[in-house]
Structure 1
Amino acid sequence: MDGNRMATVVGFAAALAVLGGLVWFVGIDETLDALTTADPWALLAVAGIAMLWLVSWGLALWTVLRALDAPVAPHTAVLVFVAAVFSNNVTPFGQAGGEPVSALLISTAADTEYETGLAAIATVDTVHFLPSVGYAIVGFTFVAAGAVQLTRNLAFAAGAVAVLAVGIPIAAVLGWRHRDRIQAAVVRGVAPALAAVSKVVPRWSPPSAENIETRIEGFFSAIERIATDRRTVLQTFGLSAFGWLCLSASLWTSLYAVGAPVPVEVVLLVVPVGSIASVVPLPGGSGAIETVLVTLLVSTAPISAALATSAVLIHRVGSYLLPTVIGGGVAAALSVDRAASEE
């Protein structure tokens, strides 16, 4: 078994251990009772809402690819996005770990350069960040206004919202302003590393430093091209905002399915903040995301831990398991097409 496969297996084992610990802590019997008595029509609605989320964010990718002169059919963009979600969901550190694979899938489907695919998925992920901040701020404002006291978990949510609203944008702006230095540092670090790898990998020639620099320049040029296209930015932002509403609706419907509906502002806060947990070194943030969602739900709404856990598990089936299964098939099909084209 190679190292990548072993890392994936270990990651999923750790995620299952965290999930198992969460269910054990809140009560196995209570959680199972809530799951088995869930409204079947609401469960079906969760699956439908998850599909709407995938379509909306897939169309956001389609909009960006069109602006980069790498157009694909809308349904192809949706399928490629689902495959990208699969790569994020099976890779530690979520989107940060899955973006290189997602870029490869996009470049294969769009028949374009790798850096164009990387710029496309990086742009889409960046735009997704913007409406999540807005929803989190609105949700926290209303939740805090109705709270009797600022609990420790609600204070954590406030800190998370502050990071979303201030910390990440500052880091992004500084990174863009100093992109020339970043480019030079990457070239200095990557070129020698690839040269060392070529000494142990037979029949493989590493790219030159000039080639690496050209590709990085192409990546930044693609990002700048999208950022200056107001129509593309607005369309992508609108589709992204609708996708976040779908994710929030998925969690709310999951809570309704187990007989524990909560105020809308609660899910508007919980879903964006919970997504921060995807940075942990577990496949797609599994285990960590569920734990954060349950903790925030119990802290911000009059709901038991068992009901919150059962609802979060239903929500994650729609927003994690379903796209992972579908995306795995799409990614496999794209890999087969890529192999056939290289023969």
Structure 2
Amino acid sequence: MNFSLPDEHRMMRDSVRDFCEAEIEPIAQEIEDEHRFPQEIFDELGRLDVMGVPIAEEYGGLGGDQFMYALVCEELGRVSGSVGLSYAAHVSLGSKPIELFGTEAQKEEWLEPLASGEGMGAWALTEPGSGSDASDMNTTATKDGDEYVLDGTKQFITNASVANSVLVKAVTDPDSGYDGISTFIVSPDDDGFSISTVWDKMGLNASPTCEVQLDGVRIPEDRLLGEEGEGWNQTMKTLQGGRISIASLSVGLAQGAFEAAKEYAVEREQFGQPISKFDAVRDMIVAMHRKTHRARLLTHEAAWRYDQGERVVDESALAKLDASEAAREVAEDAVQVLGGYGYTEDFAPQRFYRDAKLMEIGEGTSEIQHLVLGRELGL
């Protein structure tokens, strides 16, 4: 069993890391304070050819695998949870489903601009009343001749206010339960599409989280992704890869928090010696390292198995559960290591701490991951 990174993966990781440290890290707190989506960063990521890492080259992507994509998510999260979240939502949720389920014409029109970095993607599943039961949706798509008419509200949609396309889940057959849900490609330029709220959040405020209104949005029937009634199965397949990206982002957050705490502990002196020499601080930092490394191994295994074409419901849920909780725990301990400084915005741990909490909520809460894993274990 070889745990070393293939050369092309290592080169990609190092290239993205250099970019992150030079271009994103210096403005990470600034864009949070301003609640500003950093379009210039994503334009540059497009020029670096990483906006479609796991998308085939024929559709404008890099042609990389899930493992390479996971490494990119981790490096972005290591400096900015917001940039990492918008990136992961763009790739896993806004772009990958079009490659997996779309027609050649849909891929040419909608996927290529996303994968090449010319636009941003979004995915609209959650509704105001659905919570963890994402299948409980009121948004409808009614067939009218050669068009569909969409009506409803979508909630907590990442990137919706900056997206060029949004994949919307809607009910096409109210009597068919899961089999009555379909997916549609919607443009923010379509009449009746509007952003009613961009939420101020506990963290991740440089990544827009929106409420979307669909008021009689008419779209041609060729915007149906796949067939009618396939929307829920598409969702389940999408989330296998999506949860790996959130796990990777979580590992990055944990790594960034760990590095900040370790650097501070080595430099900060009390009672005539670095605080890293005190058992309480040293043991805390060792535990942070252990949690981060464990989460990374679980995440890399899930990504590797995904690339082998395996069903990774168990592995992706386990990686997402462990890495998201590790990110929050490591970031909290990083704040503690820095003491009063850790509570100020002059130091990064407070940002990692606030950002990490969403990792336990988005793309299936920790409680839902326990449910998924229990089912996989036959419980």
Which interval holds the TM-score relative to the shorter structure?
0.3 to 0.5
Query: Normalization by structure 2: what TM-score?
Result: 0.30
More helix by share: 1
More strand by share: 2
Higher RCO (CA 8 Å, separation ≥ 6 residues): 1
